[in-house]
Amino acid sequence: MFWTVPNILTTLRLLAAPGVAVMFLYFHRPWADWLALVLFLGAALTDWFDGYLARLWKQESRIGAMLDPIADKAMVVIALLVITGYSGMDPWLILPATVILFREVFVSGLREYLGNTSRLLAVTKLAKWKTTAQMVGIAVLFGAMGLEYIREQALVRNRALMAEMEATGLSEEMNLLQVANYGGEMVWTFGLVLIWIAGLLTLVTGWDYFRKALPYLKDQEK
């Protein structure tokens, strides 16, 4: 039967992938950031539960094995596109995001070309760590986007207050604003570090898959 609990969780994760982008169509920021974060985290948790429950209840299925990596890739790709667009096209994000997107498309193409031989490209432990790093990094970046938007709006509303504080020399309050500023930047930087780690793991696992598939990509000698 298709509608087992593990398959339902996988299907919900697949549907949640475009839902992350939809949050920014129907909600204003920073609510869109927080709702996207909650939806993404909830979907990411199902990535662990569906596999665990399938093995525990002996409900592993071919369609579940097919949908699981598709749902993971859809979540990562759509979330990275959303974050890249709303982050002002930060070059420190664009590079690892490009690597991740390229690898996902490349490996999917390899699996499609190999057909039945694609069993050689079974998910490795390192690939699972790669997916975990991607999920955590993206969640942190969603949180940083929400914090950054709140900070920017607060600064816009309080520019007059800031000018008055500067004129009267109230440097202590100004330091509090600076702490808030640096705090938001630290969260964003932490998310970028995780995405760079995920990007490096993505390169390593992508090369490993290509190396395994290489013998089957050579033309047969006549």
Asked whether residue 222 is assigned to any structural domain, the reply reads no
Question: Given a cut of 50, is residue 222 above it in pLDDT?
Answer: no
Q: Which of 51-55, 125-129, 202-206 has the lowest mean pLDDT?
A: 51-55
What CATH number is attached to the domain comprising 200?
1.20.120
pLDDT at 83: 92
Angle at 36 between CA 30 and CA 42, to 5 degrees: 140
Q: Does 195 map to a domain?
A: yes
**How does residue 152 score in pLDDT terms, banded at 50, 70 and 90?**
low
pTM for the predicted model, two decimal places: 0.79
- Classify 170 as helix, strand or coil: coil
CA distance 158 to 169: 16
Residue 132 in any domain: the answer is yes
What total of structural domains would you count in the chain? 1
- Percent pLDDT > 90 in the chain is 23
- What does the block give as tokens for 12? 């919900």
Q: Is residue 31 part of a domain?
A: yes
Residue 26, pLDDT above cutoff 80? yes
Between 52 and 4, residue with greater pLDDT: 4
- 221 in a structural domain: no
The answer to whether residue 197 is domain-embedded is yes
Look at residue 42 and tell me if it is in a domain.
yes
pLDDT one-digit tens code per residue, 35-46: 999 999 998 888
- Which residue range(s) make up the domain with 194? 5-216
| Alpha-carbon span 53 to 125, nearest angstrom | 18
How high is the pLDDT of residue 219? 63
Whether 191 is in a domain gets the answer yes
Q: Give CA–CA dist 217/205, Å, rounded.
A: 18
Does the structure show a pLDDT above 60 at 177?
Answer: no
Say which residues have a Cβ less than 8 Å from residue 139's Cβ, sequence separation at least 6. 37, 40, 41, 44
Please check the confidence at residue 123 and state whether its pLDDT lies above 80: no
103-119 pLDDT, tens digit per residue, is: 888 888 887 777 766 56
